[in-house]
Homo-oligomer: A and B are copies of this chain.
Amino acid sequence: MPERPKSRETGREIGREFGLPTLLPLSEHTVPARRVIFRQRDVHESVPFICSGWAATAVTLSDGSRQILSFLLPGDMVSASLLFGSTAHCSVEAVTDVHYCCFDRDDLKASLLSGPDLIEKLSRIWLERKLRAVELAVDLGRRTADERIARLILGLRDRLAARGMTQGQTMDFPLRQHHVGDATGLTAVHVSKVLSEFRRRGLIEINDRSLTILNPGEFQRVATMR
């Protein structure tokens, strides 16, 4: 068995994204790495939040190719769609071992819509997700492999840093190269070549599921070449 989640920080983590008053989870779950949590067509009456671990939302095409739409980090609501509809339009897979909690949709919606304060919070979440969706489309449509991969790494770094989950230029990096490829519209083989090149240029270092940015300035430049 792989390592277990260290603590159950449900209240605090949910607090990160919502600042919700204490709301009791309907259920809690722990799933091992690589397990599918939900399928694209699943119907839900509750809204899950990631408490620990990393997950990915993805769409799979009939030929087996896959597009990862986002990585979910501790504290993230699995899909804002689920607040209003009962289907998320995409599947969710555990990248590491994942612990998550489900809240009743109607309860959650009710407490969100109760105060103008919380509506603002909800809209901020929507705006941030929309911004990420725009960035993803621009990256996939208009950027090279180098840029896409560097931007993926920097985006994750920023989100982890906002949670206090980085140590200087070092961060957890549990993604397989296959995940990176599916998130950037590339193949795992090509991801390997690009990462090797990044290492050769002294930009980053990856050891034991941990990534360090050795040359932040230059790495940022690679991510922002256009």
Please determine whether A130 and B89 come into contact, CB atoms closer than 8 angstroms.
Answer: yes
In the complex, what distance in Å separates the CA atom of A137 from the CA atom of B89? 13
Specify which of B59, B62, B84, B140 is in contact with A185 (CB 8 Å cutoff). B140
- A17-25, A119-127, A204-212, A215-223 - the one binding chain B: A119-127
A10 within 8 A of B: no
Which residue from chain B places its CB closest to the CB of A225 in the assembled complex? Answer: B63
Total contacting residues, chain A, CB less than 8 A: 35
Specify which of B63, B84, B126, B137 is in contact with A69 (CB 8 Å cutoff). B137
Please determine whether B65 and A130 come into contact, CB atoms closer than 8 angstroms.
Answer: no
Number of copies of chain A assembled together: 2
Which residue from chain B places its CB closest to the CB of A185 in the assembled complex? Answer: B141
A203 within 8 A of B: no
A133 within 8 A of B: yes
Please determine whether A62 and B136 come into contact, CB atoms closer than 8 angstroms.
Answer: no
Query: Shortest 8 CB-CB distances between A and B: which pairs?
Result: A141-B185, A84-B123, A140-B140, A63-B226, A133-B133, A67-B141, A140-B141, A61-B226
A-B contact list, 13 entries, CB within 8 Å: A59-B134, A61-B226, A62-B226, A65-B226, A67-B138, A84-B123, A84-B127, A85-B127, A89-B130, A89-B131, A89-B134, A137-B137, A137-B140
